A and B are shown apart, each in its own frame.
Chain A
Amino acid sequence: AQSVSQHNHHVILSEAASLELGCNYSYGGTVNLFWYVQYPGQHLQLLLKYFSGDPLVKGIKGFEAEFIKSKFSFNLRKPSVQWSDTAEYFCAVNAPNNNDMRFGAGTRLTVKP
């Protein structure tokens, strides 16, 4: 079964700093990859997803993620974070034709104004 690892439990940045959150998955076949965000007091929202094609995926609010197949990674990036990006970020994976979605442990991002 697939599994997902997020390396950073808690990341603290100042506004305008660049962000990269790590995500690695364990699965031998083709996968669909997702990043979800959970703002304080709000529900999980889809940030971006990758199914196939261009490995650099752009999502909402200036976020992007790059799928590197050889490294089994799908890291999330943002060139300049804002205070409003403070949230919990979850990486998730499922296999094509399979709705069994596995989530990473999450990374809490705190952006200091």
Chain B
Amino acid sequence: SAVISQKPSRDICQRGTSLTIQCQVDSQVTMMFWYRQQPGQSLTLIATANQGSEATYESGFVIDKFPISRPNLTFSTLTVSNMSPEDSSIYLCSVEDGGRWTQYFGPGTRLLVL
């Protein structure tokens, strides 16, 4: 399975600012995903990011709030814009395992917004 890293691992941010989270994979993958895991809750898919195309957002998530870049097959970024305390969460990226419909997850970015 792919090895996935995320930066930063955690951050504390002020309300109204933005944070960009990076996701790096050690092999080329077509599909990458961004999830949110709010405290005590399960994972919720934010968007699917394919290289060379616009990200596809799930209901309740919009590009202005969560812009995503996917410049190549091993890297993606998620920006959490104009943050509020409600954005405090763990943000995870995952990759799909070569057409086998299985996802592997990065370690996550723990975000606290004050």
**CB of A44 within 8 A of chain B?**
yes
CB contact list, A8-65 vs B, under 8 A: 32, 34, 36, 42-46, 49, 51
Interface range, A side: 20 to 34
Interface residues on B, range: 10 to 19
Name the one of A42, A43, A51, A103 contacting B101, with C-beta atoms under 8 angstroms: A51
Q: Which residues of A contact B107 (CB under 8 A)?
A: 42-43
Query: Measured between alpha carbons, how far is A51 from B48 in the docked complex, in Å?
Result: 22
A105 within 8 A of B: yes
Contact of B102 with A49 in the complex, beta carbons under 8 Å? yes
Instruction: Chain B residues near A98: list those with CB within 8 A.
Output: 101
Could you tell me which residues of chain B, from 15 to 62, have a CB within 8 Å of some CB in chain A? 31, 33, 41-45, 48
CB–CB B42/A99 < 8 A = no
Say yes or no for A90: interface residue by CB 8 A criterion: yes
Q: Which A residues are CB-close (under 8 A) to B101?
A: 32, 51, 94, 96-99
B42 touches A90 (CB 8 A): yes
Docked complex Cα distance between A45 and B107 (Å): 10
Contacts known (A44-B92, A90-B43); A101 close to B106, Cβ less than 8 A: no
Confirm or deny: B66 has a beta carbon within 8 angstroms of a beta carbon on chain A: no
Which A residues, 54 to 113, have Cβ-Cβ distances below 8 Å to chain B?
Answer: 90, 94, 96-101, 103-106
* Residues in B lying within 8 Å of A, measured CB to CB: 1, 31, 33, 41-45, 48, 92, 96, 101-108
**What 3 A-B pairs come out closest when comparing CB atoms?**
A44-B105, A43-B107, A103-B43
Supply 5 A–B pairs (Cβ within 8 Å), ascending by A: A32-B102, A46-B1, A101-B33, A103-B42, A106-B42
